[in-house]
Amino acid sequence: MKFKNYSLIIILLVCLNFISCNEQTANTNKTEQVVVGSEHPKLILTKTGVDNIRKLLGTIPIFDASLQVTKEEVDAEIALGIDIPIPKDFSGGYTHEKHKSNFLILQKAGVLYQILDDEKYAKFVKDMLMQYEAIYKSLPVHPQTRSYARGKLFWQCLNDSNWLVYVSQAYDCIYNYLSKEERDLLENNLFRPFADYISIENPQFYNRVHNHSTWGNSAVGMIALVMDDDDLLQRALYGIKDVGLDPEAKDNDGGFIKDKDGRAGFLANLEEPFSPDGYYTEGPYYQRYAMYPFLIFAEALHNVKPELKIFEHKNGVLLKAVDALLQLSDADGDFFPLNDGQKGMSYFTSAMVSTVNIGYYFGSQNPGLLSIAKKQGQVMLDDSGLAVAIGIKEGKAKPFEKKSVNLTDGPDGKQGGVGVLRHQGLEVVFKYAAQGLSHGHYDKLSFSLYENGDEVIQDYGLARFVNIEQKGGGNYLKENTTWAKQTIAHNTLTLNATSHFEGKYEIGSKHHSNLYFFNFDNPKIQIASAKENNAYPGTEMHRTMAIIKDDNFEKPFVLDIMKIQSNTNNQYDMPYYFLGQVIETNFKYNVTSTLNALGIKNGYQHLYVEGVGQAPEENTKFLWLDKGRFYSLTSVSTPSDELFFTRIGANDPEFNLRREAALMTRRKNTKNTIFVSVIEPHGSYSPVSELALNSKSNIAALKIVLDTEDYTALTITDVKDNTKLFVISNTNASKEAKHTLKINEKNYSWTGSYYYK
Q: Which residues bind its own copies (CB under 8 A)?
A: 92, 97, 342-346, 348-350, 465-471, 474, 581-584, 591, 593-597, 605, 608, 610-611, 623, 625, 645, 647, 649-655, 658-659, 661, 685-692, 695-696
- 8 A C-beta contact, residue 95 and residue 154: no
- 41 preceded by cis ω (within 30°)? yes
- Phi/psi-derived region of residue 566, left when phi > 0, alpha when psi is between -120 and 50, beta in every other case: beta
C-alpha span between 728 and 72 (Å, rounded): 60
The nearest distance, CB 587 to its own copies, in angstroms, is 13
Q: Please indicate whether residue 439 is annotated as part of the active site.
A: yes
Three-state secondary structure of 402-443:
CCCEEEECCCCCCCCEEEEEEECCEEEEEEECECCHHHCCCC
The nearest distance, CB 341 to its own copies, in angstroms, is 10
Point out which residues pair with 548 in neighbouring strands.
525, 557
Which lies closer to its own copies via its Cβ, residue 346 or residue 566?
A: 346
C-alpha span between 194 and 657 (Å, rounded): 38
- 8 A C-beta contact, residue 683 and residue 699: no
- 8 A C-beta contact, residue 238 and residue 224: no
Q: Please indicate whether residue 40 is annotated as part of the active site.
A: no
- 8 A C-beta contact, residue 125 and residue 137: no
Count of residues in the chain: 757
- 8 A C-beta contact, residue 186 and residue 171: yes
CB-count exposure of residue 736 (10 Å: 0-12, 13-18, 19+): exposed
* Residue in 177, 206, 286, 755 annotated catalytic: 286
Which lies closer to its own copies via its Cβ, residue 154 or residue 505?
A: 154
Distance of CA 490 to the CA centre of its chain: 17
C-alpha span between 468 and 253 (Å, rounded): 18
- Amino acid letter for position 56: L
CB-count exposure of residue 325 (10 Å: 0-12, 13-18, 19+): buried
- 8 A C-beta contact, residue 747 and residue 730: no
Measured between its terminal Cα atoms, the distance across the chain in Å is 72
Which lies closer to its own copies via its Cβ, residue 131 or residue 342?
A: 342
The nearest distance, CB 369 to its own copies, in angstroms, is 19
The nearest distance, CB 287 to its own copies, in angstroms, is 15
Q: What is the DSSP string of 699-757?
A: EEEEEEEEE-SSEEEEEEEETT--EEEEEEESS---SS-EEEEEETTEEEEEESSEEE-
Which lies closer to its own copies via its Cβ, residue 516 or residue 604?
A: 604
The nearest distance, CB 655 to its own copies, in angstroms, is 4
C-alpha span between 215 and 169 (Å, rounded): 14
Point out which residues pair with 700 in neighbouring strands.
none
Point out which residues pair with 681 in neighbouring strands.
631
C-alpha span between 84 and 512 (Å, rounded): 47
The nearest distance, CB 106 to its own copies, in angstroms, is 17
581-585 and 618-626 beta bridge pairing? antiparallel
- 8 A C-beta contact, residue 555 and residue 426: yes
Q: What is the DSSP letter of 85?
A: P
C-alpha span between 649 and 141 (Å, rounded): 38
Nearest to 725, CA basis, from 699, 748, 709 = 748
Which lies closer to its own copies via its Cβ, residue 211 or residue 492?
A: 211
Sheet holding 607-614, edge to edge: 494-495, 570-576, 661-670, 642-648, 607-614, 589-590
The nearest distance, CB 468 to its own copies, in angstroms, is 5
Count of CB atoms within 10 A of residue 569's CB?
10
Which lies closer to its own copies via its Cβ, residue 407 or residue 609?
A: 609
629-637 and 618-626 beta bridge pairing? antiparallel
Question: Cα dihedral angle (96, 101, 103, 109), rounded to 10 degrees?
Answer: -160
CB-count exposure of residue 32 (10 Å: 0-12, 13-18, 19+): exposed
Which lies closer to its own copies via its Cβ, residue 76 or residue 691?
A: 691
| Orientation of helix 313-327 relative to helix 367-376, angle to 10° | 50
C-alpha span between 68 and 754 (Å, rounded): 56
The nearest distance, CB 679 to its own copies, in angstroms, is 18
What are the residues whose beta carbons fall under 8 Å from the beta carbon of 308, sequence distance 6 or more?
A: 301, 302
- Phi/psi-derived region of residue 401, left when phi > 0, alpha when psi is between -120 and 50, beta in every other case: beta
Which lies closer to its own copies via its Cβ, residue 20 or residue 339?
A: 339
* Residue in 423, 439, 606, 682 annotated catalytic: 439
User: Where in the sequence numbering do the catalytic residues fall?
Assistant: 286, 439
